[in-house]
Amino acid sequence: MTVPSASRRDRKKAATRQAIADAALQLFLERSYDQVSIRDIADAADVSTATVFKHFSGKEALVFDQDEDRESQLIAAVRQRPSGQNILDALRQHVLDTWPAIGAHPQAAEFTNLVNSTPALRAYAERMWTRYTDSLSAAIADEFGVDHDNLACVALARFVLEIPVLARDRKDRRAAVEALFDILTHGWEPPNKPPAL
Amino acid sequence: MTVPSASRRDRKKAATRQAIADAALQLFLERSYDQVSIRDIADAADVSTATVFKHFSGKEALVFDQDEDRESQLIAAVRQRPSGQNILDALRQHVLDTWPAIGAHPQAAEFTNLVNSTPALRAYAERMWTRYTDSLSAAIADEFGVDHDNLACVALARFVLEIPVLARDRKDRRAAVEALFDILTHGWEPPNKPPAL
DNA sequence: TCGCTAAGTAGAGTCGTTGTACTTTTCTAC
DNA sequence: GTAGAAAAGTACAACGACTCTACTTAGCGA
């Protein structure tokens, strides 16, 4: 991603950061999240515990290393959508394109499992999503030329960001995402009663 | 609320719990959340720190003492709604009836302020709401005679529980709640462009 | 080559939280 | 009433996440 920065200093910095993240993920997968202490990680990466916190804001952040670009991709999906396309449709497309792909990688299954089986990580992940609400809603509001805190825009952002969370556990994620966007587009409809037994 | 329980033991237990919660809230309001330690609270309530954790699952829980009934009220709003009434309308009614009332109490303003100005508490409060998702969606699913994990029902529960969060900061909460339920009922509509200046 | 600065380290300390073993209080059954 | 089970509370030690302070080291620019 980020081109190896010019200075040797920056390269070394990035290297230690990476070493820490790698060590952390490996240990978390071997044992579980709660069974690994910061000290363990620091030892494995051969740095002091203080260094760990110089690079990461907290234990949970060690797991979600690279999730910083997600936000910008999301904004881009809104801002640079094909001309004439509905914002809701653009978001639907973006979620469909980028999200189920994550499950494709083979290691990603264990990763997902790690997160889902650790309450602290689940909570952190959910907050990560909703933390994007502000910037996403701002982008949407801009597209309509209304105030950044316009209620409809904030609501749309929030609801859309809930969709991946809601679709996470479904067998057929794509279908779930579609169904959820349909709710936002056309309003909620009562579920079909199953045929009487 | 809860009738003073028969046994003296239970009464004393409830008393200490209350003493702890009161001490905590007072200290949190005086100084801020982060400037108050569990020891401070224990000392103020004249109990040991261990006792604090016997009564409350963690520091955040001290702030949201009585929010246990909210869940059951919510379920009741769905289950015992006037016959023939739409579930969405029943929920709209319930939110309108019970939620803005909270802002009525005079002390409640400082309380809201405390929560909103403390990230840890904001996060905890949000998770509290979404934790209700399961039981609410189960209640909704029951009304339609479908599976508890029916996607439409889970989605409705989740979206409805986001509404109070979204409406929290608005000047006119009632109007905001109405607008948000309208989105769920009829689908999302782009905001009105403000009249050109 | 000489500092300046940023990265890293050591180590002590705070705070939330848990576990263990002990005392006190209240309830229950005789 | 009194014995003894059960529950509430306490004291204390411990652990892990995180912070702070003071110190060393390594890369950078002049």
Rounded CA Rg of chain A? 20
In sequence order, the 6+-apart residues with CB closer than 8 A to the CB of B12 are: none
Q: What is the pLDDT along chain A (197 residues), one digit of tens a residue?
A: 445 567 898 999 999 999 999 999 999 999 999 999 999 999 999 999 999 999 999 999 999 987 777 888 999 999 999 999 999 999 999 999 987 766 667 778 889 899 999 999 999 998 888 888 999 999 999 999 999 999 999 999 999 999 998 998 898 999 999 999 999 999 999 998 766 65
Written as one letter, the residue type at A103 is G
Interface of A with B in 113-132 (CB under 8 A): 123, 126-127, 130
Q: Is B154 on the interface with A (CB under 8 A)?
A: yes
Burial pattern B60-78, b for ≥16 Cβ within 10 A else e, equals bbbbbbeeeeebeebbebb
- CA B156 to CA B183: how far, in whole Å? 12
Q: Is A95 helix (H, G, I), strand (E, B) or coil?
A: helix
What are the structural domain ranges in chain A?
8-62, 69-186
List chain B residues with CB under 8 Å of A151: 166, 170, 176, 179-180, 191
The reply to whether the CB atom of residue B51 sits less than 7 A from any atom in nucleic acid chain C is no
Q: Which nucleotides of C are covered by protein (CB under 7 A)?
A: 6-11, 14-20, 25-28
> pTM for the full model?
0.85
CATH class name, domain B8-62: mainly alpha
Band (pLDDT 50/70/90 cuts) for residue B5 is: low
CA dihedral A149, A152, A156, A158 (to 10 degrees): 50
Taking CB atoms and an 8 Å limit, are A144 and B190 in contact across chains?
Answer: yes
**Nearest-CA residue to the C1' of D16?**
A37
Query: Domain A69-186 belongs to what topology?
Result: Tetracycline Repressor; domain 2 (1.10.357)
Residue pair B185/A188 in contact by the 8 Å Cβ criterion: yes
